[in-house]
Amino acid sequence: MDREKYLETRATMLNDAQELINSGNIEAAAEKRKEIETLDADFEEASKEQANLDALNVEEETVSDMKNMSISEGGLKPMDKIVEKTTAVNYEEVFAKVALQRDLDADEVNLFNEMNPENVYTHNTTNTEIVIPETVISGIIDEMKELHPILADVTPTRIKGTVKYVKRTGIPAGDADYYDEATPTADEENKFGELTLNGKELSKAVTVTWKLQAMAVADFIPFITRELGERMGAAKAKAFVKGKGDAKYPQGVITAIEAETSTPQKVSYKADGLTYKDITAAMAKIKSGYVNGAKIYANNATVWGTLANILDGQQRPLFIPDVTSGGVGRIFGISVVEEDAMGDGEILIANMSAGYKENVSEPMKLVTEQHAKQRTTDFVGYEVHDGGVIDEKAFAYLVKGV
């Protein structure tokens, strides 16, 4: 299937899925979505095989026969000025060529050395760190956010080194109050904690065979963007949800909630099904100012197997299908989004923008590592960042109990 046919087929299937959702046929819509995912996977595999075939189909250079093609004497005319045609060097293409071990011309070498002053171009098999073009980094980040919406809802800071946030944990005494004329205002007593964000290294290696490495330069950027975006996104989303918050992992939202005394932000619902009352109990735990901007996160199985089936007191569906807000539906006006980092039966109502902090202390980079015997190359992407909960009142966690 060529690209035009693929895009046409995909657009038709998406329209069909939307019509099924609009008509309330959720199960059929879910089946149609699976068909779209299968179509995407088939097209991706076909594209890889085409790239391999193109790499093997190298045509011989055409050599012009210069015999009897010389210009007769007197036929030459002097030129006042020779204009040399130049093409702007694109670092994205230079990056791809170096990653694929292709030769660079003089202009491309100069641009590579300018972007990578500590790793000048030598075109050998030593392991090197390569600065990723901004366009490629943006592509990887966009891929991560598209696959994991929870990442898109956190706005990171970019400060080198350790970042500390003051975290108010309570006001035992002296909060604002009314007083009669004879009573002095009470001294405020605050309890503060501290959220410290250091540097946790997120890394992913993509191993490419030398045969596959013969892919066209134009195909490499989408390939590396997809591979790194998919796997690094999965690891980062999992850390935001359930990271241990230790020396190795950022702190996840569920980890912070479970660590609270008596877990006030947690609601356990019965194994036989989530009820209307369970949802309202969870909503009541979120601080009023955080409700606007909150979303409901759950994996695909929980969205369609649990949330989509909740009924209110009048036996009407609580879940309203709606794809216009970036999710798949709404409950109480709050967008419901599919997040694969959540486990089966787990539901997180969260204002990630207000309640979670992330700092990227070292932006994403790429290191290549050659393995001659195995005839493979590792492309290792990594970034240094950290994250943690600044206010547990921005979250409510529902989990299936006994």
pLDDT of residue 76: 54
pLDDT of residue 396: 97
What is the biggest distance separating any 2 CA atoms in the chain, rounded to whole angstroms? Answer: 116
Q: Which two tokens stand for residue 121?
A: 């171009």
Q: For residues 368 and 125, give the distance between their C-alpha atoms in angstroms, rounded to a whole number.
A: 9
pLDDT of residue 61: 46
pLDDT of residue 137: 84
Mutual orientation of helices 134-147 and 217-242 as an angle, nearest 10°? 50
Q: For residues 178 and 167, give the distance between their C-alpha atoms in angstroms, rounded to a whole number.
A: 26
Average confidence (pLDDT) per 10 residues, the chain, 402 residues: 75 81 81 83 74 60 50 55 60 84 85 80 63 83 93 93 79 64 70 83 87 80 89 95 95 96 93 91 94 95 94 88 86 95 96 96 83 83 93 95 70
Domains in the chain: boundaries: 3-53, 143-171+189-200+236-402
pLDDT of residue 62: 47
pLDDT of residue 184: 80
Q: For residue 232, give every residue at least 6 positions away whose Cβ sits within 8 Å of its Cβ, in sequence order, or none.
A: 140, 144, 202, 204, 381, 383
Say whether pTM exceeds 0.85. no
As to burial, measured by CB atoms within 10 angstroms (0-12 exposed, 13-18 middle, 19+ buried), residue 314 is exposed
Q: For residue 194, give every residue at least 6 positions away whose Cβ sits within 8 Å of its Cβ, in sequence order, or none.
A: 164, 165, 166, 167
pLDDT of residue 18: 80
